[in-house]
Amino acid sequence: MTASADGPSRPRRRSTDEYRDVIPVFEELRTLEPHSPEYERVRTALITRCLPLAEHIARRFDGRGEAHDDLVQVARLGLVNAVDRFDSTRGSDFVSFAVPTVMGEVRRHFRDTGWALRVPRRMKELHFQLGQAISELSQQLGHAPTVDELAETLGIEREEVAQALIAGNAYQTVSVDGAASNHTDDLPLVETLGDYDAALENVENHEALRPLLDKLPERERTVLMSRLTETVLRIRSNSPRRALNVSRSLVA
């Protein structure tokens, strides 16, 4: 994510100043024997000092279908990786190094474990790229970008854009036990779903026989209807309900 998308530059500088005190601690850590008790003590103090940074990044990903506590845990894991990988001799700005590291860890969590259905990794990556491209192009163009504009921006084919957009539907599923709408007093979705209708087979048979009956000569059609009428009368004496169903089929 670009700096402009993350927010104005002033808050970022203030955040950098807020964690400027960790640089001497990194210098101290570099002089210690790895995995020694003193090294682990200083390392733990560094991680604890920077935990608010991880929690701040986790909050930025709220409202995307993942529990906040899970996002915090993933962000903290990214912070630990940032602390272990940061080299104070190559630069003094730990925040500029840690933020993309932590955000990358959270994005990987969404890509790898946040999907309700299994989707190819390529489609997952494209889906998140599309989300960023849609946001940026909407600001630049003043309207929602078209498939062609997205394809040109990302350098991919239109078919890939369409597939990635469709794949986004698999990110979060809807429970049939939930309400059918936002109104809490509505019936559960499962109560609004249709059931199997055994009479559908009769409709198919009726539509299949209609053109065949129309092709019969008048005499043969009369004989056939006469025999069907006899069949209905015979069934009626044994099962009135079944005879009614047959009669309705004949009338239709």
Q: Is 196 helix (H, G, I), strand (E, B) or coil?
A: coil
Instruction: Indicate yes or no: pTM above 0.75.
Output: no
Tell me the CB-side half-sphere exposure of residue 163, using CA atoms within 13 A: 13
Residue pair 104/81 in contact (Cβ under 8 Å)? The answer is: no
Q: Put residue 36 in one of left, alpha, beta given phi > 0 → left and psi -120 to 50 → alpha.
A: beta
pLDDT score, position 183: 54
Residue 12 pLDDT exceeds 60: no
Please enumerate in sequence order all residues whose Cβ is within 8 A of that of 19, keeping only pairs 6 or more positions apart, or say none.
49, 50, 53, 94, 95
Q: How far are the Cα atoms of 74, 81, 201, 214, 243 from residue 221, in angstroms, in the given order?
A: 75, 83, 23, 8, 21
Four-residue CA torsion sign, 32, 35, 39, 43: positive
The proportion of the chain whose per-residue pLDDT surpasses 90, expressed as a percent, equals: 15
Count of residues making up the chain: 252
Q: Angle at Cα 21 formed by Cα 20 and Cα 25, nearest 5°?
A: 120
What is the rounded distance in angstroms from the CA atom of residue 172 to the CA atom of residue 118? 11
Give the model's confidence band at 5: pLDDT under 50 very low, under 70 low, under 90 confident, else very high: very low
The chain-wide mean pLDDT, for the chain, equals: 77
Residue 249 φ then ψ, to 5°? -65, -40
Give the model's confidence band at 47: pLDDT under 50 very low, under 70 low, under 90 confident, else very high: very high
Please choose, from the candidates 126, 119, 81, the residue with its C-alpha nearest in 3D space to the C-alpha of residue 103.
Answer: 81
Residue pair 184/196 in contact (Cβ under 8 Å)? The answer is: no
Residue 138 pLDDT exceeds 50: yes
Four-residue CA torsion sign, 83, 88, 90, 94: positive
What is the rounded distance in angstroms from the CA atom of residue 149 to the CA atom of residue 113? 29
pLDDT score, position 79: 94
Residue 75 CB: number of other CB atoms within 10 A? Answer: 24
Give the model's confidence band at 44: pLDDT under 50 very low, under 70 low, under 90 confident, else very high: very high
Give the model's confidence band at 11: pLDDT under 50 very low, under 70 low, under 90 confident, else very high: very low
pLDDT score, position 188: 72
Residue 103 pLDDT exceeds 60: yes
Residue 147 pLDDT exceeds 70: yes
